[in-house]
A = this chain, B = another copy of it.
Amino acid sequence: MVSPDCLFCRIAAGELPSSQVHADDQVIAFRDIAPKAPVHVLVIPRRHIPSAADLAVDDGPLLSRMVAVAAEVARHEGIADSGYRIVTNVGADAGQSVAHLHLHVLGGRRMTWPPG
């Protein structure tokens, strides 16, 4: 379930510090250490899933919970009405830097297009 060499598993386990904004039994959310917007939070499952490409069909409830947490964080951070972008990277071309599924939630400024 938990991969000892994974940075985000260790954050989820409380072994490494993070600026946490949400925690429940399945999902945690914390501020990106290199924020690219006034609000930039990462939403991750506690369970080690390498990327969105590795989600199983029956991970629907977990994914739904992650998106609900993103929306909850947006409300709490005051960007639910102004809007926010949710991004997840799969693999090298996307720039995925940690091989543990994470949703970037960015807002508090006007996001530009293309998205990178």
Contact = CB atoms under 8 A, between A and B. Distances in A.
Interface of A: 36-37, 52-53, 55, 57-65, 67-68, 70-71, 74, 79-96, 104, 106-116
Q: How many copies does the complex hold?
A: 2
A53 B83 CA distance: 10
Contacts of A90: 71, 74, 83-86
A113 to B, nearest CB: 5
Contacts of A84: 90-91, 93-94
A49 to B, nearest CB: 11
A87 B106 CA distance: 11
Nearest 7 CB-CB pairings of A with B: A83-B91, A60-B64, A60-B60, A36-B114, A83-B93, A115-B116, A60-B61
